[in-house]
Chain A
């Protein structure tokens, strides 16, 4: 985790907090790569596994051509599949890794994602030292990485393990937002679509979950998603029962990543946001018995620097995975 995240309310859950966002490297890109590398190595160690036994790792980040992930993969030499799902990468990688494991193609896999404020900012927005004001709806790309191992069986462990039981691949939903600072609004409809599809497919209600956690909608996007759910429920009886108590179980990683006083405006964003909170906090809490069944819905805004300049709207995507304690 980066320095700023280490000063936030979630700090006590993270395994390693940096003293310096350069992480002893010459560039921020290398720092992000090292961050991801460390989090993957730690995930493997914690599972009591060895690097050589990992069949495949699926990771991604926000940079062009997945720079951080690819260079991380060069260094760790584990078979590697690079994924890009914007900030939804964490659930995308977990989902695909569990499919590979469930299908019997792999025994041990690692899924992870990373983001870095400085690398994302320079690619997507303004130079760091440029004196400008961020609008109130803007979000702060989290400097963070998170990784989990997904295996067929780890044998006996002293604490219960988490299992991926369901996965829902999301559709790209484009609500027509052109303001690239307003990503919460661009992603909220996609998150809503995926959650609704997931609940309808599985025949569950939102109250069947102890926690429904979206990735990085931020404070504004969170409000929009809650309102969308409420509106839909008031229109349709079926949706009403599906989304009953949604407000009670719903939370957003971006909205809880920072304190209000940290001046991030609408909260955190980036692949690392949901990756670190899920791998750092939720998994630990689940294994300690706080939650039994969690739906993780990482959300992504599929923008590129080119689409932005060409005046395209910002399409959103969200994937969901159900995690249960066994």
Chain B
């Protein structure tokens, strides 16, 4: 029962975060890339205020998989860096904590882009 409850929490948290994005898409002139940026920045700021950690504790992957989670990782990294190495940690911490995601997205993405061709839509 607990496991099922956990899945439900992940589903609902992730779903709700996406619904906010959908409402932004449908009611404003914002395009998807702008919404991604808004999400990362919002995730970062919420983390700084200490409001995102409870969402992560509740929703698990439901809160870390959406891009707000990317902002969360970046800011968390910078804050941890600050604790360990002071101001240098702020400079390196963000990229350090998100290094895997960014590296893979760019390098694997590069490989994919070199292999595949875009298809015309019909």
Contacts and interface: CB of A to CB of B under 8 A. Distances in A.
A211 interface: no
A135 B118 CA distance: 22
Interface stretch (B8-16, B25-33, B37-45, B83-91): B25-33
A109 B31 CA distance: 43
B122 A118 contact: no
B120 A118 contact: yes
A161 B26 CA distance: 49
Interface in A78-136: 117-118, 126-130, 132-133, 135
Interface string B90-122: 000000000000000000000000000011111
Contacts of A127: 118
Contacts of A28: 120
Nearest to A121: B121
A19 to B, nearest CB: 11
Which of B25, B31, B32, B122 gathers the greatest number of chain A CB atoms within 10 Å?
B122
Interface string B2-26: 0000000000000000000000011
B118 A118 contact: yes
Interface string B55-94: 0000000000000000000000000000000000000000
Interface SS of chain B: loop
Contacts of A135: 26
B25 A21 contact: no
Contacts of A133: 25
A178 interface: yes
A7 interface: yes
B120 A21 contact: yes
B118 A3 contact: no
A130 B32 contact: yes
Contacts of A7: 122
Contacts of B32: 126, 130, 132
A2 B120 contact: yes
Given A130-B32, A132-B31, A178-B29, A4 B118 contact: no
Contact of B120 (A22, A130, A178): A22
B25 A128 contact: no
B116 to A, nearest CB: 8
Which of B26, B29, B120, B122 gathers the greatest number of chain A CB atoms within 10 Å?
B120
Which of B25, B26, B119 gathers the greatest number of chain A CB atoms within 10 Å?
B119
Contacts of A208: none
Contacts of B121: 4, 117-118, 128
Interface of A: 2-4, 7, 20-22, 28, 117-118, 126-130, 132-133, 135, 143, 178-179
Interface of B: 25-26, 29, 31-32, 118-122
7 contacts: A2-B120, A3-B122, A20-B120, A117-B120, A118-B121, A128-B119, A132-B31
Given A4-B122, A132-B31, 20 more contacts: A2-B120, A3-B122, A4-B121, A7-B122, A20-B120, A21-B122, A28-B120, A117-B120, A117-B121, A118-B121, A126-B31, A128-B118, A128-B119, A128-B120, A130-B32, A132-B32, A133-B25, A143-B120, A178-B29, A179-B29
8 shortest interchain CB distances as A-B pairs? A21-B120, A4-B122, A128-B118, A132-B32, A3-B122, A129-B118, A118-B120, A179-B29
